[in-house]
Chains A and B, each alone.
Chain A
Amino acid sequence: MKYDAHMIDRLVPKVRLAIFLSVVELSRAQPAAQIDFFESKVRPVLLARCSTCHGEKVQMGNKQFTTSEGMHASGAVVAGDPSASSLVKAVRYDGKLKMPPAAKLPEAEIAALEKWVRDGAVWPAGSPKVASTGAAGHWSLKPVKQPSPPAIKNAQWPRTDIDRFILSKLEEKKLSPAIDADKHTLLRRLTLDLTGLLPTANEISQFVEDNSPKALETVVDRLLASPAYGERWGRHWLDVTYWADTTGVGRRIPLPSAWRYRDYVIRSYATDKPYNQFLREQIAGPTARKPKDKEGEPSEDALAATGFLVLGPWAWFSLDREQMRVDVVDLQVDLIGRTVMGLTMGCARCHDHKFDPITNKDYYAMAGIFMSTKTTSRTNLEGGVNLVRLPETTTSAREHAEALAAWEKHVAEVEAADKVFKKEQEAVNKRIKELKNDPVALKEAQAELALLKKKTEFAGDRQILPFTKYMRPKQPEVYAAEEMEYPEDARIAFRGDAHQLGEFVPRGLPSAISNGKPLPEIRKGASGRKELAEWLTEPTHPLTARVYVNRVWHHMYGRGIVASTENFGTRGELPTHPELLDFLATRFVEQGWSTKKLIREIALSRVYQLASKPNPQNDEIDAENQLLWRSNRRRLEAEAIRDVVLQASGHLDIKSGGPTLPLTAQNIHTIAPFFLEDDSRITPEVKYRRTVYQPIMRNSQMDDIDILNLFDFKDPDQIVGDRSSTTVPTQMLYLMNSPFLKDESRRMAESTRGLNDQNRVSKIILETLNRPSSQRDFDQARQFVSDFRAAYEKQASKQSVQTVDLDVEVWARYCHAIFASSEFLYRR
């Protein structure tokens, strides 16, 4: 629940309305106005100000003010007579008893209590009323329409239907669209947006020389077919999950199999798995309708997919297991709410949603589904995430047996060495004690001890023996959700407290979100994940497709049609182009929920291909470019910066998939539960792979990929469909001084060795900025190289600089400056 900026819609717990468990009806015919007054003005005060000491848990002075019974029994209120009511006197601070003791209440609250007493102290029967009355009429809950593209004046301009929707709004506001971007800019933009990499020199010349009308389509199709596409768009999806390679809220407890969910997501994008199937797999897993593999056992995909639900920032060391369980369920409900439906379901954990049509009961109906889903195990093994063994094959069984035998042998060796060591250590230690008064001999003995430690592979306090045991080869496993043996409904938890439980709520789906059909019943003996997944992926569901196409749009334009990508509720932003959103959602479902087709359609629209240059006239009307009269210039994400620097320097390793956590003796701390040290280093074989494959921690990222910490990488514990893009000086210190940029710049400079200056500049500019060099580039480079070389030589002559290969040094600085400059770091 931490880090959750979007949950702020939830009210402070103390003022939340709650369900009361023992309500006595005071009056048969309660006037509506008085009930409203009580619910809006009185109950919140009692809860916020009194309930800590006079509530469900604690009843100081034997008084409880949170139920009508308690209030009645307290004798603190005399209906109709404030002056005789000790409650009123106490809050007025009249007399000896002053309540609350910390500080007098604000006048308005005192007045409300007084009025309530004077009007007869009416306490409504039953639960608080649903506050959200108008929300069902909210745009995002109405059925998706099938709008036709609107009529426009400039019929020559559009290339696709998307363009007609955009142009219509531009014409309405008298905005003229920017000119088309040049081919180099467009290719760089497309390649970055679709793959997170830069076009190669070959790709550039092919596109620039291709004058056929299909030139762009050819490029888009090539990019969508590349593995890099799955890596980039898979990462976008990971941003709206809680996935990471570790768990725990404090220590980095490694999840050695978490990579399987990451790879599942990347694979799903690469193969263009229909989004409805993708969702069903992730929510329902093996209970979803889907092809089973030959043995009738669930496939790896079906199991790995539910990593969506089981991987998260769970507080494993919580002693309060019951509370932990409801907190995990809360994150799961919120994940479905925000990631899939764009609704902040979590608010309804404590009260009916104030703004959106989610009631307290709806929340617990859905919570029951996840209460009936096994996501955790009761052990502290692998952070307590539920582990499922992957179906065994003959090969995997043999490989495992071999690995196990080798490991056992290794353990035996280490154990033997350890024994020898301990014995020798004891002897030396004994000598050290005896030699206290002989400094020379003492020193020798200490040196001997140090040598001994080295010899037996002891590395500081990281003992090799427990580490070796920890590395026991395992049969392939995956973190996955399973059905509970006995599915159960959830009980309403007072203020989300697992120990204050109210009525049971039957498992079910949110009642106010309609896909035009009756809500499905949840089968007996099943969690209901299957029903939930199917309900969400009904073509007529008002939110699922809208929220998803908006996410895709966001990644292509830098801003969603609905800017609040996780909030389609009444507190979210309104769509800038509601008809276009519905048009895209409809098309998306019609075209088989295909992400690639959707991206293709957007990429081929004219509006995607516009230049980014500002225009003063348009700025007067729409400076924010909400109506998309030009392209948005955006800074590359942390991953893209790192990847394209490596790509330009020729260092990028494009190996895909597999485990990448650096589980080495140096990195693992062997105090149970084993965790990764904060100064862990990434292993050499992983270090130059794409960033999506780097190990991702729950707190800050490893020093080797410090760039993620500095450039707004997504916090794994948050759902972030819309990353921030900050500009702060610590980033510039990194760009100027980090070993990463210096090393890769040098590498790039070395790759241009032997070329003349002009060709060097051409090659560097082409491979970084993906355009031909201008005269200005050449002149500037020539000037810099000669000035810098002269200054360097002058310094060197003063001996303050180490002797280096000056040619490489100077050109490395030039490459470095290109890497550190806005044209490289931004996509236009």
Chain B
Amino acid sequence: MKHPINSLPHDRRGFLRSLGGGFGSLAFAALAASEQGIAGPASLDPLAPKKPHFPAKAKRVIFLWMQGGVSQSDLFDCKPRLKKEGGEQIPFNIGDSIDPSTINKARLLPPISDFKQIGQNGMWVSDLMPHLSKKVDELCFLRGMVSDSPVHPAAIRLFQTGSIQFVRPSMGSWITYGLGTENKNLPGYMVISPMLYGDDGSPLHYSNVFLPAIYQGTRIGDARTPVKNSKIGHMGDPSLPADLQRQHLDLIQARNRMDLEESGTDPNVEGLIQSYELAYRMQAQAPEVFDVSKESEATRELYGIGDDATDNFGRKCLMARRMAEAGVRFIQVTDNGWDHHTKIATGMRKSTKGIDKPLAGLLTDLKARGLLDDTLVIWSGEFGRTPYDHVMDGTSGVADAGRNHNPHCWTMFMAGAGVKQGMVFGETDEYGYKAVNDKVHVHDLHATILHLLGLDHQKLTYRYNGRDFRLTDVYGNVVKQILA
């Protein structure tokens, strides 16, 4: 987050000086040029698109973040023995996470829903997500996901930043830092409805930390507010028509240029001038991009907008597609409420209903628009859930039963650019408690995501405090088996 004073690269400084005179006019020329579709001097803009380390299909990411931890046992990880032995004692060792005096009372919890074999690869999927089930052949499932922590804050940090212990830049910041953005009128990294407060949410989860500030996620809304009511702060002045505001901004910018002329060039004031133009343009384009009401009735229906159960997530997904279309590099969409400790039979049905249609709608829409060819879609929570009842003393009835956190396995999926379709990678034990084959640790997932974007996770580094940092720290192996 440091911006040292006058820390211009020397070549850029030389470049500016060679033009002589104040810089304000130059900044304007550059912006004017890009407005007309003429390439401005790219080095001036840290958000300008950058070449990846190697060619890759994926150009951007839509990350659907299922905060709380989705139960794999009720969705994608079908275990006949769990169904058969539901209600019986836990037959496997669950370590020290249980009071020995109650171990005999704890019960396996059978899946809350029926599974069917769907798709050409024969994958078993539960009937909780009927719309998404039709897409199985387009998805790439990772069933052997592994995390290091069974508690939310730590597991979330690991997933979002690659580190449990330390405050590190988020995945989206790293990717925006690595690739820049495709649309100068929008931030490169957008975060839709994140959890902001409490033990499970923090702006740190989308923060640049020590990367330059321009790579921090720009937030719209928060998890507790329906996205319908969310907007970026201070976007526009309702009391001032656009042309009057431009006139007002012209005075501000004239004063800024005057300042530069009279007191000498300065990269920070130059940055200020550029940021004003971006902010001004954001006002014009961002609300447009964020406004899903511009979509046809058919599209809105596709995403489940208008139906109480699916409206909120549907809007988020549609907004994400509009951002992807507009060239935002990394788009994160949060859906929270997956922490089904109790009453999973009703809770999970509600949660899955909320996302099923929008999710399938998003995939259909992206495909129809050709966006799936260069967009990577990621769907995951921070960990999985246990195959046994959260209430360990056997007292909860079937209706109240729920599942506890489980970092030893969960199922996530990716879709779109660069990943195999209809793939199921990884295997858990016969109860779905632990991953046993083709495990993928979160660090490996990060390495793989970067790889899919053409970035080598070992080369994408940033020097800070005397050390080269990476998203994967000293870990991470690209999961080659899932690459298309």
Segment of B60-68, B121-129, B274-282, B326-334 in the binding face: B274-282
B263 touching A728 by the CB < 8 A rule?
Answer: no
B229 within 8 A of A: no
B214 touching A8 by the CB < 8 A rule?
Answer: no
Bound-complex Cα distance A518 to B445 (A): 53
B54 within 8 A of A: no
Bound-complex Cα distance A800 to B240 (A): 9
Residue of A nearest to B255 (CB): A821
A726 touching B213 by the CB < 8 A rule?
Answer: yes
User: Cβ of B275: which chain A residues have Cβ within 8 Å of it?
Assistant: 727-729, 731-732
Residue of B nearest to A1 (CB): B165
Q: How does the 8 Å CB contact mask read for B273-307 relative to A, with 1 for contact and 0 for none?
A: 00110111011000000000000000000000000
Chain A CB within 10 Å — which of B13, B235, B272 has the most? B272
22 A-B pairs whose Cβ atoms sit less than 8 Å apart in the complex: A2-B202, A102-B439, A103-B477, A571-B466, A619-B13, A619-B17, A624-B6, A632-B6, A633-B5, A635-B268, A706-B233, A724-B2, A726-B3, A728-B216, A733-B279, A736-B234, A736-B252, A736-B280, A800-B241, A817-B248, A818-B255, A822-B259
User: Cβ of A732: which chain B residues have Cβ within 8 Å of it?
Assistant: 272, 275-276, 278-280
User: Cβ of B271: which chain A residues have Cβ within 8 Å of it?
Assistant: 727
B474 within 8 A of A: yes
User: Cβ of A816: which chain B residues have Cβ within 8 Å of it?
Assistant: 248
User: Cβ of B244: which chain A residues have Cβ within 8 Å of it?
Assistant: 788, 791-792, 795
B269 touching A822 by the CB < 8 A rule?
Answer: yes
Residue of A nearest to B440 (CB): A102
Segment of A161-169, A534-542, A609-617 in the binding face: A609-617
B481 within 8 A of A: no
Q: Which residue from A8, A13, A634, A788 sits with its C-beta under 8 Å from B465?
A: A8
A727 touching B268 by the CB < 8 A rule?
Answer: yes
In the complex, how many residues of chain A place their beta carbon closer than 8 angstroms to a beta carbon of chain B?
A: 86
Closest chain B CB from A749 CB (angstroms)? 13
User: Cβ of A13: which chain B residues have Cβ within 8 Å of it?
Assistant: 165
Q: How does the 8 Å CB contact mask read for B443-484 relative to A, with 1 for contact and 0 for none?
A: 010000000000000000000111101000110010000000
When A822-B272, A828-B263 are in contact, do A817 and B473 touch as well, CB less than 8 Å? no
User: Cβ of A2: which chain B residues have Cβ within 8 Å of it?
Assistant: 167, 202, 204
Closest chain A CB from B164 CB (angstroms)? 8
B209 within 8 A of A: yes
Residue of B nearest to A823 (CB): B259
B210 within 8 A of A: yes
User: Cβ of A792: which chain B residues have Cβ within 8 Å of it?
Assistant: 244
Bound-complex Cα distance A250 to B197 (A): 6
A775 within 8 A of B: no
Which residues 171-198 of B sit at the A interface, judged by CB distance below 8 A? 187, 196-198
B239 within 8 A of A: yes
A653 within 8 A of B: no
Bound-complex Cα distance A730 to B167 (A): 23
A729 touching B255 by the CB < 8 A rule?
Answer: no
Chain A CB within 10 Å — which of B6, B95, B202 has the most? B6
B33 within 8 A of A: no
A817 touching B251 by the CB < 8 A rule?
Answer: yes
Q: Which residue from B168, B199, B236, B254 sits with its C-beta under 8 Å from A780?
A: B254
Closest 4 CB pairs of A and B: A732-B279, A726-B213, A821-B255, A729-B279
A784 within 8 A of B: yes
When A712-B1, A727-B3 are in contact, do A736 and B245 touch as well, CB less than 8 Å? yes
A206 within 8 A of B: no
A58 touching B276 by the CB < 8 A rule?
Answer: no
Residue of A nearest to B466 (CB): A571
A217 within 8 A of B: no
A733 touching B5 by the CB < 8 A rule?
Answer: no
Bound-complex Cα distance A826 to B272 (A): 11
Chain B CB within 10 Å — which of A1, A735, A822 has the most? A822
A218 within 8 A of B: no
Bound-complex Cα distance A153 to B100 (A): 82
User: Cβ of B282: which chain A residues have Cβ within 8 Å of it?
Assistant: 729, 733
Binding site for B on A (CB under 8 A): 1-10, 12-13, 15, 48, 58, 101-103, 249-252, 317, 558-559, 563-564, 567, 571, 612-614, 616, 619, 623-625, 632-635, 678, 699-700, 706, 712, 722, 724-738, 742, 776, 780, 784, 787-788, 791-792, 795, 800-802, 813-814, 816-818, 820-823, 825-826, 828
Bound-complex Cα distance A633 to B196 (A): 34
A12 touching B248 by the CB < 8 A rule?
Answer: no
Bound-complex Cα distance A807 to B3 (A): 41
When A571-B466, A678-B197, A727-B3 are in contact, do A633 and B268 touch as well, CB less than 8 Å? yes
User: Cβ of B477: which chain A residues have Cβ within 8 Å of it?
Assistant: 103
In the complex, how many residues of chain B place their beta carbon closer than 8 angstroms to a beta carbon of chain A?
A: 81
A10 touching B166 by the CB < 8 A rule?
Answer: yes
Q: Which residue from B197, B204, B263, B268 sits with its C-beta under 8 Å from A725?
A: B268
Residue of A nearest to B253 (CB): A821
B243 touching A623 by the CB < 8 A rule?
Answer: no
Closest chain B CB from A167 CB (angstroms)? 21
6 more A-B residue pairs beyond the given contacts A2-B204, A624-B4, A738-B234, with a C-beta to C-beta distance below 8 A: A619-B17, A712-B1, A729-B278, A733-B233, A737-B237, A791-B244
Q: How does the 8 Å CB contact mask read for B385-416 relative to A, with 1 for contact and 0 for none?
A: 00000000000000000000000000000000
Chain B CB within 10 Å — which of A564, A731, A802 has the most? A731
A817 touching B279 by the CB < 8 A rule?
Answer: no
Q: Which residue from A3, A635, A823 sits with its C-beta under 8 Å from B167?
A: A3
Which residues 217-267 of B sit at the A interface, judged by CB distance below 8 A? 218, 232-237, 239, 241, 243-245, 247-249, 251-252, 254-256, 258-260, 263-266
Residue of B nearest to A726 (CB): B213
User: Cβ of A619: which chain B residues have Cβ within 8 Å of it?
Assistant: 13, 17
Closest chain B CB from A357 CB (angstroms)? 17
User: Cβ of A818: which chain B residues have Cβ within 8 Å of it?
Assistant: 255
Q: Which residue from B17, B200, B256 sits with its C-beta under 8 Å from A822?
A: B256
Q: Which residue from B196, B243, B259 sits with its C-beta under 8 Å from A821?
A: B259
Closest chain B CB from A346 CB (angstroms)? 11
B214 touching A728 by the CB < 8 A rule?
Answer: yes
Closest chain A CB from B433 CB (angstroms)? 15
Bound-complex Cα distance A776 to B166 (A): 52
Residue of B nearest to A780 (CB): B254
User: Cβ of B79: which chain A residues have Cβ within 8 Å of it?
Assistant: none
Residue of A nearest to B209 (CB): A5
